[in-house]
Amino acid sequence: MNTETTTQSAHKAALVIGAGDATGGAIAKRFAKGGLITCATRRTAEKLQPLIDEIQQAGGQARGFASDARKEEEVVQLVEQIEREVAPIEVMVFNIGANVPCSILDESARKYFKIWEMACFSGFLVGREVAKRMVTRGSGTIIFTGATAGLRGSANFAAFAGAKHALRALAQSMARELGPRGIHVAHVVVDGAIDTEFIRDNFPERYAMKEQDGILNPDHIAENYWHLHTQPRDAWTHELDLRPWIERW
């Protein structure tokens, strides 16, 4: 990226909701590398510190925020604080998972609702708040991390599939409403095991496929998110599928 673009980006923020140790963290680092001030969130601020340190040591700018995206008052406060104290939010990435399998025969109403809150309702709250600011400026990017569960439901994943279907519908509705107002809304279907400690420790056979590019590299996922943000308006992608060659679809 040239110096002029980096200088301009330094006065804009990228808000990453759910900046975990794998995909979310990689996305945060990629946008910081691109010159934006990365604002990363998790429910526990202490868990963000290694990520913030890594970004800053690499020459980027980053801030960490403790925030529960399911709570409207916290989301409103978060967005207001970033816009006031950091920079205008140019990009928002919603990356909360909630992939919790359970038989429909055993599923509780409380857990079903909580999964919906995490994987869909929180996306609505953050999406609404950043969209309010973006439309006044006539530009911005909103990216929702989806899953194959948002395309079809599988046995033992009724709650997760329902939430991800709803998130995909939210992204479609927002794209149709906000696209004409200069806001690029995209939905990314991430289909496959990701290179994480969880996969390494619990699915060693699948993790062994890493050397054959059989699992997703978080950095490669992040590169696609950056590409979505930098697309010209005349060739926007709304839905992007990312999956290793090993996955059947």
Cα separation, 29 vs 56, whole angstroms = 10
Q: What are phi and psi of 68, to 5 degrees?
A: -100, 105
Q: For the segment 129-187, what is each residue's pLDDT rounded down to a tens digit?
A: 999 999 999 999 999 999 999 999 999 999 999 999 999 999 999 999 999 999 999 99
Domain ranges of the chain: 3-242
DSSP string, 10-58: TTSEEEEES--TTHHHHHHHHHHHTT-EEEEEESSGGGGHHHHHHHHHT
What's residue 4's pLDDT? 38
Asked if 12 and 39 count as a contact pair (C-beta separation under 8 A), the reply is no
pTM for the model = 0.93
Neighbours of 8 (CB within 10 A): 12
- Give the bridge partners for 61, in sequence order: 37
Which residue would you say has higher pLDDT here, 87 or 9?
87
DSSP code for 117: I
Domain spanning 3-242, CATH class: alpha beta
